[in-house]
Amino acid sequence: MPFATEINPITGTLDETTADLLVLPVRTGDDGPAVVEGVAASGLNRALPAPLTDLFTHYSLTGKAGEAVWFPVSREQGLVRLALLGVGSGSPDDLRKAGAALSRAARGRERVAFAWPADIAGDDAATAFAEGVLLASYTFTMKTTEPAADQRPAPVVDVVGAAPADALTRGTVLAEATALARDLINTPSLTKDPSWMAERAREVAARSGLAVKVWDEKDLENEGFGAILAVGQGSSRPPRLVQVSYTPENPTSHIVLVGKGITFDTGGLSLKPTDNMALMKTDMSGSAIVLGVLSALAAVSAPVRVTGLLALAENAFSGDATRIGDVLTTYSGTTVEVLNTDAEGRLVLADALGYAVAELDADVLVDVATLTGAAKVALGTGIGALYSTDDALAEDLLAAGAAAGEPLWRMPLTEEYVETTGSRVADLANIGTRKEFGPAGATDAALFLRAFTGDLPWAHLDIAGPGRSTKESGILTKGGTAFATRTLLRWLADA
């Protein structure tokens, strides 16, 4: 398992377990907080230091999702801790928050037992709870020392009662796909070049029964991927394009996912400031997310054929780097004038999208990228920007994002702004060229990408805001978040 924690559904009651941390769910209600009926066994009640209502008052508990207090109680095997954990209304979002809070409270414990709220119907809450527990326990470290004992995730979380085991397993699958993407995102760029990413894709494909194809720099040149080559030509570590394919029996449609894979972004000759560059090992998040999604499609029984394209390059500066004013010929034959070498993600995506339209007989295109700072300015770090040419596709992705706790906001493809993508010497420019429309950077980028999607239904996820986290919060840890992995898996599983 990629996680140090295992979720283990068991029957019985909380007072029958041997866990050293016992967790009771506390719900909100019109009459104040209350422990869900049926989970507080009589043996455990006798161990409480005071009646539950008095404990609620003493700790000022409301039952809000993620709220937690804990204290020692006496059992036959000695003192253990009992936690009162807020689960709010019992909705999937609240259970996800509760699971994350439980995971953090459980650090340093050997075994945790959580009494599943018996009145929760359906599977979505159990799936979300598993996601919360596991993703909050995620760690990425290259330290040579072990973490302090009180910071180690609990090895086992027993979910006691009638929680649906299949739903917990599904949550584990979704969390594991996200963890795979996070591991790739958080790997330092000293290790993580385009060739390394291609090897990881081969490994994932071998484990998951997927087909894989890799283009090296010679293949890219021979087949006309001029934009990917141009972005990568300033680096001593050449670019790659990777295709990973999942084909179920009797697929209902063919969906192509395209991921931006800039394994490090200096900005090229349009050099980034140092503070901005410090985060740029995560600029290949889109490709990591696509690979994470492909790794789990069989496990979630996705009924659609899915092809993932990882457009991989390192954007460096050298005597060989692309210059301002250079004109590139993309895979589709469209020419692009480069007016800013730091607007490179849309260039590698353009080649991959053009290839998908020309060669893959796709029904739907979706790309995902940490693309523009403008999207982060518009929506902050908690919401991803969604652009789409198809209303039904947009609604499906919005619903999947809401279910995953990865909110998206649909942004406009403003037709009046199309002029800003024009160039005086080429078909397109890679940044906006008209000042009267203001700094519409995220929309400029989306309109640029749309030019490479043919007439296919297409959606673009700009996750520059929520793709990175600077602190531990809820299901997030510092570093890459792999935002949109669970959204895309839910969408594809229900397609």
Active site residues: 272, 346
DSSP conformational letter for 125: H
Q: Which two three-digit tokens encode residue 17?
A: 């377990």
How many angstroms separate the most distant Cα atoms in the chain?
82
Q: How many CB atoms lie within 10 A of CB 65?
A: 26
**Could you give the count of Cα atoms lying within 13 Å of 416 in the half-sphere of its Cβ?**
6
Q: Which helix (H) or strand (E) holds 70?
A: strand 68-75
Quote the crossing angle between the two packed helices 391-404 and 485-493, to the nearest 10°: 120
Measure the CA dihedral 143/262/456/248, to 10°. -40
The answer to whether 193 and 289 have CB atoms below 8 angstroms apart is no
Closest CA to 157 of 180, 124, 132: 132
Closest CA to 116 of 159, 164, 178: 159
Altogether, the residues listed in the chain come to a count of 495
Strand pairing category for 240-246 and 305-315: antiparallel
DSSP conformational letter for 18: -
CA angle 67, 107, 36 (to 5 degrees): 35
Could you give the CA distance from residue 384 to residue 462 in angstroms, rounded to a whole number? 6
